[in-house]
Amino acid sequence: MEGWRGAWYVPCLASLETLQELCRKENLRCKSIGITNRSLKSYEVEYLCDYKVEEGTEYYLVKWKGWPESSNTWEPQKNLKCPLLLQNFLSDKNEYLSRVREGKALKVRNHVKALKPAVADYIVKKAKQRIALRRWKEELNRKKNHKAMILVENTVDLEGPPLDFYYINEYKPAPGINVLNGITTGCECADCPAEKCCPKEAGFILAYNKKKKLKIQPGLPIYECNSFCRCGPDCPNRIVQKGTPYSLCIFRTNNGRGWGVKTLQKIKTNSFVMEYVGEVITSEEAERRGQLYDNQGNTYLFDLDYDSDEFTVDAARYGNVSHFVNHSCDPNLQVFNVFIDNLDLRLPRIALFSTRTIKAGEELTFDYQMKGSIDLTSDAADGLSPSRKRIRTVCKCGAVCCRGYLN
């Protein structure tokens, strides 16, 4: 456009440390990322890479924060002021050396002159993983819209953050799909629930009791007060819309089920735990994507079939913590359909509530075949179910009542 003096801005996906490394490598200054004449030669230990003993002195190979790996240097232990990094180094070394190989446990030797290349390589990979997971945790907590914390933990393998996953807090509709539709008025209650509160206007009862716990049976919908309602944020009929109240941890499972989610706090029975979000797509598009996902063993497609089967939620690439919740044939979470700022019965929100008391540290699970009613054999009773599968996926939930397959 003639006379336009604006500029295009593209978000940078590189970390601050990576940008600092590039600046130092090219001897460039950049005040916005902290590289000035004064800080160009500053040094801070990022992680320890290797170990050796020379003439009775212990040395560690140091990776300097914000410096390229070509700038790594050997430093005597007495000069290092990083007890936590030293602890991580020794822990990673012992973890690697104590692994069982061919049925025999390798002997851990504490008095070595130098580490074998394979050991040092593992320690570096573990250090890089630790940094990547910390950055991912920080990113998740920046993007979430609820107060509770999200932690990340992997003590099982070297797997890092998923490369093609983007955190969102609400549905991401495909072009042509309106997930904020059909609401123009709200209740006039000064103290919900009153005679004409939102659930009663929809023909249903209030879903929550005085303690804000669920009191309705599976299969019944939840109608919460919306943005047009007179009641305030402390209304007892505003639960799901506030987001998860519990701090959760995304962790790596040790039995081949990939990532999982565990609660860091005790959760009482019938409590709202989290919402299941993702891309909202048509059933036709879900059928196409399902062909690809089946070959990968993915189970992220959920049909929004409370009233019809026109739309599906796909949480494969876009989602929240629920993306990582595993299946169980004996789950501790139950699915409910929720309507708040959209009364279109084809587009309910998906909420997960606890079915029993869940202890702190316990993994959260739901049944990928879970229906909206207690009867799991009736197709007509489907309140919410995963998209139909073509390839059967073996279930690894370990429950006594395990059906053997996820689908």
The catalytic residue positions are: 276, 368
Q: Is 395 annotated as a binding residue?
A: yes
Q: Is 257 annotated as a binding residue?
A: yes
> Would the annotation count 136 as a binding residue?
no
**What is the β-pairing status of strands 385-386 and 301-304?**
antiparallel
Question: Annotation-wise, does 187 bind a ligand?
Answer: yes
| Inter-axis angle of helices 83-97 and 117-143, nearest 10 | 120
- The residue written with tokens 């990928």 in the block is 368
Residue 397 marked ligand-binding: yes
For residue 315, count other CB atoms closer than 10 A to its CB. Answer: 24
Q: Tell whether 30 is in a known binding site.
A: no
CA distance 218 to 383: 9
Would the CA dihedral through 236, 237, 240, 241 be positive or negative? negative
Confirm or deny that 402 is annotated as ligand binding: yes
Residues with Cβ within 8 Å of 177's Cβ and at least 6 positions away in sequence, in order, are 280, 281, 282, 311, 347
43 neighbors 64 (Cβ within 8 angstroms): yes
CB 150 within 8 A of CB 247: yes
CA–CA gap between residue 192 and residue 389 (Å, rounded): 43
The answer to whether 225 is a known ligand-binding residue is yes
Residue 146, annotated ligand binder?
Answer: no
Q: 198 labelled as ligand-binding?
A: yes
Cβ neighbors of 288 (< 8 A, separation 6 or more) are none
Is 49 annotated in a binding site? The answer is no
- Write the CA distances from 78 to 59, 75, 231, integer angstroms: 9, 8, 63
What type of residue is 337? N
Q: Is 12 annotated as a binding residue?
A: no
Per DSSP bridges, beta strands 259-263 and 272-276 are: unpaired
In eight-state DSSP terms, residue 331 is -
**Count of Cβ atoms closer than 10 Å to residue 79 Cβ:** 9
Q: Is 229 annotated as a binding residue?
A: yes
* Whole-Å CA distances, 201 to 62, 193, 194, 337, 374: 66, 11, 10, 17, 26
The reply, when asked if residue 235 is annotated as ligand binding, is: yes
Detail the residues annotated as belonging to a binding site for S-adenosyl-L-methionine. Answer: 257-259, 326-327, 368, 396
Detail the residues annotated as belonging to a binding site. Answer: 187, 189, 192, 197-198, 225, 229, 231, 235, 257-259, 326-327, 329, 368, 395-397, 402
Detail the residues annotated as belonging to a binding site for Zn(2+). Answer: 187, 189, 192, 197-198, 225, 229, 231, 235, 329, 395, 397, 402
